[in-house]
Structure 1
Amino acid sequence: MKHRHPLLDRYVELDISGKSVPIRGKLIDLGQDILVLHNGTQFLYVPLIHLQQLRLAKSDSQQEIDVPELPFEPQNDPISYRKVLMNAKGMFSELYITGNQSIHGYLTSVMNDFFVFYSPVYHSVIVSLQHLKYLIPYNPNVTPYTLTPEQFPLKPSPITLARTFDQQLRKLIGEFVILDLGENPNKIGVLKGIDQNMIELSTAGGNPVYLHFDHVKTVHLP
C-alpha cells in the first residue's frame, strides 16, 4: 500500500530553488520525484530536486480550495516527473526555469535528460530536466497570448534532436546560441566548443567566456 504523506490534501508552503517567495496551495499528490500543488486557480507540477522545504502553511485551518479535475487522467501508477512531461506534450503550459521569467508554449519532445518547448517568443527551447522549477498546464481552451492556430502554428523543432543534453549542445557547436533565455549578455554568443564540462562561448565583443555545463538551464537559437 502506498504511504500517504501527512500533508496530502493540506494547505502547504513550498520553498523552491531560485524563488524568493514561497509557493502556496493544496498538496494534491506526491511522487518520488515530483509533487502536485493546486493554488486555487492552477495546478503546479514541481520536481522535487528543487524542493528546499515543504511545510504546513501558517494560515492552514483545513483551508478549502475548490480543486477541479487533474489536467492529466489519474493513473493507478504513482505520479512521476517523466510521466507528467509525456502527458503534457501538446498541451499549452507555462514553465518557470530561471530568474523572474516564465515561458509559455507547448512541450513538443521529451528526451533522456532534456525536453523541447515551443514558445511564440523564443521558438524551440531546449530545457535541461534538472533545471525545470515547475510546470503549469493550462485549460485546453486557452492558447498562448490568445493567438489563433494560424498565428501560432505548432512547428517541429528545426534542430535534429540528440538523446542527451550534452550531445545536443555538441550538435550546436559553431551556432549562435542563447543560454538561459539570455538573462545575461555573457550567455549569448557563438558556441565554440565543449571540453571537460566547460562550454566556451564567443560573446558580442569576440571575447571567450567559459561556463560549466551543469549550470546551463536552457538553450535556444535566435
Structure 2
Amino acid sequence: MERLVNLLGKHVEVKISGGTSFIGILTDIGPDILVLFNGENYLYLPLLHVHKICHYTKTNTIESPSTSSLSDDIDSISYRKILMNAKGIFTEIYATGNLSFHGYITNVLSNYISFYSPVYKTMYLPLSHIKWITPYSQNNTPYTLSNEKLPVNPSNVPLLRSFEEQLKKEEGKLVVFDAGSDPTKIGLLTKVENNFVELANASGDTVYLRLNHIKSVQLP
C-alpha cells in the first residue's frame, strides 16, 4: 500500500473484475478504496475488485480536477466513509455484471446499503458486489425530475444491520433480485436461512439462491 502512494497525482490504468479498465488521475487511496478522476467525474473503486493498477504513460491529456471529491474532507479515507459522504447525492452505482443503478444512498449498514432509485424504488445492495460509485454534480437530478417528484428519503422504516437479517425481515413479500435480469429471480420471498434464499416464482416453482451471489434486491 505504501508504494501505491507513489502513484498519487499521476495518470494510472486500473483494471477491475470483469475486465473493465479505467484511465485517470489517482487522487486518493485508502486501505479498501481508491479515488480516480477520469477527466469528468470521480470514480470510487473498492480495492476488493481491483486486479491491477499501474502508471499510465501513453497519454497525459486528463487535466487535474478543479472540483472537490468526497474524500477531500476525510483525514483517512475508507470505503464506508466514502459511502457515508455520498448519502443524499445523486449517484450511479455499478454492480457486478451489467447492473447500473441511478439514485441516492439512504443508509449505510454493516455489509449493505439501502438505495432509492426513481425507477426501482427501495433497494438493498451488498457492499461486496459494488464495483464502483460515481456521484454526479450537485446540480444534477435523476432523469431531470423535479425535487417534488423525487423523495430522497422515501422510507423511515428501521433497517437491520446485516443484509441477511434485513432479507429475513422481508419474508412473505414480493422481491426482485438482480434487477430481474433472470425471470426466476422474481417472486415471493418465502425463507432466508443458512446463506440460501427460498423464492416462489411466478409459476409457483421453488427456487433456491445463494445469498452471497445476490447483487441487488428490489421491493416493488
Could you say whether these structures have the same fold, taking a TM-score greater than 0.5 normalized by the shorter chain as the test? yes
Q: Alpha carbons of 1:17 and 1:39: their partners in 2 closer, same or farther (altered >3 Å)? A: same
Q: 1:12 & 1:46 partners in 2: Cα distance?
A: 13
Given the two structures, how large is their TM-score scaled by the length of structure 1?
A: 0.91
Which residue is 1:74 aligned to?
72
Q: Deviations over 1:159-217 (max 9, x none)?
A: 54111111001001111101111111121111111221111111111111111111112
Secondary structure, aligned partner of 1:133: strand
Kindly report the root-mean-square deviation, in angstroms, between the aligned alpha carbons of the 2 structures: 1.8
Mapped to 2, the partners of 1:138 and 1:65 lie a distance apart of 18
Residues 201/76 of structure 1: CA separation in 2 closer, same or farther (3 Å cut): closer
The one-letter amino acid paired with 1:213 is: L
> Could you say if the C-alpha distance between residues 188 and 91 of structure 1 is closer, same or farther in structure 2, counting changes exceeding 3 Å?
same
Please give the alpha-carbon distance, in whole angstroms, between the structure 1 residues aligned to 2:54 and 2:171.
44
Rounded Cα–Cα distance in structure 1 between residues aligned with 2:4 and 2:194: 43
**SS of match in other structure, 2:128:** helix
| 1:10 and 2:10 matched | yes
CA contact (8 A) 2:71 2:82 kept: no
Q: What TM-score results when the alignment is normalised by the length of structure 2?
A: 0.92
- Distance between the aligned counterparts of 1:188 and 1:4, measured in 2? 43
- Partner letter of residue 89 of structure 1? K
Unmatched tracts of structure 2, length 5 or more: none
Alignment of 1:95-174 (within 5 A): 95-157=93-155, 159-174=157-172
Where 1:25 maps in the other structure, the secondary structure is strand
Alpha-carbon distance between aligned partners in 2 of 1:197 and 1:73, rounded to the nearest angstrom: 34
Distance 1:177 1:91 in 2: 26
Deviates more, 1:66-75 or 1:127-136: 66-75
Say if 1:9 and 1:21 are closer, same or farther in 2 by CA, change over 3 A: same
Matching residue's letter, 2:152 = L
Where has structure 1 moved over 6 Å in runs of 4 or more?
none
Deviations 1:39-78 (A, max 9, x none): 1100000111111111223524x44423123233623621
- Contact 1:50–1:133 under 8 Å retained in 2: yes
Report Cα offsets for 1:15-52 as digits up to 9, x if no partner.
2123x331221111110000000111000001111111
User: Percent same amino acid at aligned positions?
Assistant: 44
Equivalent residues in 2 for 1:16-27 (5 A)? 16-18=16-18, 20-27=19-26
Distance in 2 of aligned mates of 1:77 and 1:155: 28
2:39 aligned partner, one-letter code:
G
Instruction: Quote the offset at 1:153 in angstroms.
Output: 2.4
The unaligned stretches of length 5 or more in structure 1 are: none
Contact 1:11/1:63 (8 A) holds in 2: no
CA distance in 2, matches of 1:58, 1:99: 29
Whether 1:49 and 2:51 are equivalent positions in the alignment is no
C-alpha spacing 1:202/1:111, structure 2 compared with 1 (3 Å): same
- Output aligned runs, 1:58-73, within 5 Å: 59-60=58-59, 62-72=60-70
Tell me if structure 2 keeps the 8 A contact 1:10–1:63. no
Query: What's the counterpart of residue 93 of structure 1?
Result: 91
Residue of structure 2 in register with 1:30 after alignment: 29
- Describe the superposition over 1:110-140 as per-residue Cα deviations: whole angstroms up to 9, x where unpaired: 1111111111000111111111111111111
Question: Which structure dedicates a bigger proportion of its chain to helix?
Answer: 2
